[in-house]
Each structure stands twice: as C-alpha cells, then as structure tokens.
Amino acid sequence: MDRQNFIKTSGAGISYALFSGFIYCKKQDDDTMLLTNSEPKVIRDADGDVFDVIGDIQTHKLLGTETNNQIFEWVDNVEPGVGIPPHVHTKEDEIFRVVEGEVEIIIDGETIVLKTGDIAFAPKGVPHTWKVVGTEKAKMITSALPAGIELMFIELAELPLGPPDFEKVAEICAKQGITFV
C-alpha cells in the first residue's frame, strides 16, 4: 500500500479509535447499559474559572464533567519561587507542559528544568514536585488523567489567604489519595 492510500484508510481507523475513547457505557440499576458521549469543546486562552490554590493560580479549562471523567486540564500561572511540595498521587497521572518560563520538576528523584515547549509525565504512585525557577512568571498546562482532582483544588482554593495550615491541606489532599513525602 502506498503512503497516500495508507493515510486515507488509516485516518478513518484512527478517527474511530480516538472518538470511541470518548464513549463509554454506564450500567443502570436495571442492568441495562446507557451509551454516553462527551461533547466537543473549544477553549479560548481567556476561558475558564480562575482559582488561587495556595499560590498556584489555576485556570480550569477542561473539567471531568465535560470528559466523562477521562481528563481534567488546567493552566498554572505562577510567580517565580512558587511550587508544590513533593507528593504522590494514587488516583491520577499528570502531564506538565511548559508554555512560558522555566519550571524545575523532580520526578522519582530526577531533577530537570523544563523550558518552553518541554513536557513531563508523572505517573501515579511516583513522587514528584515542581517549582518555578528563574525571574519570570511561568505558564504551564497541566493534565490529570482521570479527572477528579479539580474538586480538591476548588476546596483548597476556599482556604483562608495567608500561610496555609499544612494539616488542613494534607487532610483535603488525602481525600483525593494524595500524600506528601
């Protein structure tokens, strides 16, 4: 098969595979299965709800309620020196994409500075942390798979301003299966 025919024929298969990933069956009480489907969505740079999650300014872009809880995606707009302490997730994997600035990330003991265009993957069960380095604010797109962590972020954003009560933060995070190390 030549390249052009391969692209034409495989395009349909790839489209089906990607589309079918957003369809799932939900069991109802009467043992019937309901087919549910996510709706397409375009998200502009200015779109989303903004939360101050203990200094991590997050704009929530794509919610679990919009993706059959497949993915939650947000944008971090963070000042130099701000970061997240070392922690471990038990429920979700995370993907970090730096759009502007520099972010030092440590995953499973390995330290690297991510720059514009760089991506890091932190699977569940692996300790990780990140901090904005340098003198510029950083913008990072972060994804969590599956969704659900957004509820924790909303609860953390409701804490009083000022230095956080670490015991309260740890209690809120523990409900999402996140522990600090």
Phi, psi (deg, nearest 5) at residue 174: -60, -30
Residue 109: left if φ>0, alpha if ψ -120 to 50, beta else—which one? left
For domain 49-180, say whether CATH 2.60.120.10 is its number.
yes
Q: Is the pLDDT of residue 29 over 60?
A: no
Q: What's residue 28's pLDDT?
A: 44
pLDDT for res 17:
41
The pLDDT tens digits of the residues spanning 71-126 come to 999 999 999 999 999 999 999 999 999 999 999 999 999 999 999 999 999 999 99
**DSSP state letter for 65:** G
* Residue closest to 140 by CA, chosen among 87, 94, 85: 94
The residue-averaged pLDDT of 10-18 equals: 45
Secondary structure tally for the chain: helices H, strands E: 3, 13
pLDDT of residue 129: 98
Look at residue 4 in the predicted model and tell me its pLDDT: 55
Q: How confident is residue 20, by pLDDT bands cut at 50, 70 and 90?
A: very low
Residue 162: per-residue pLDDT: 87
Backbone φ/ψ region at 108: left (φ over 0), alpha (ψ -120 to 50), beta: left
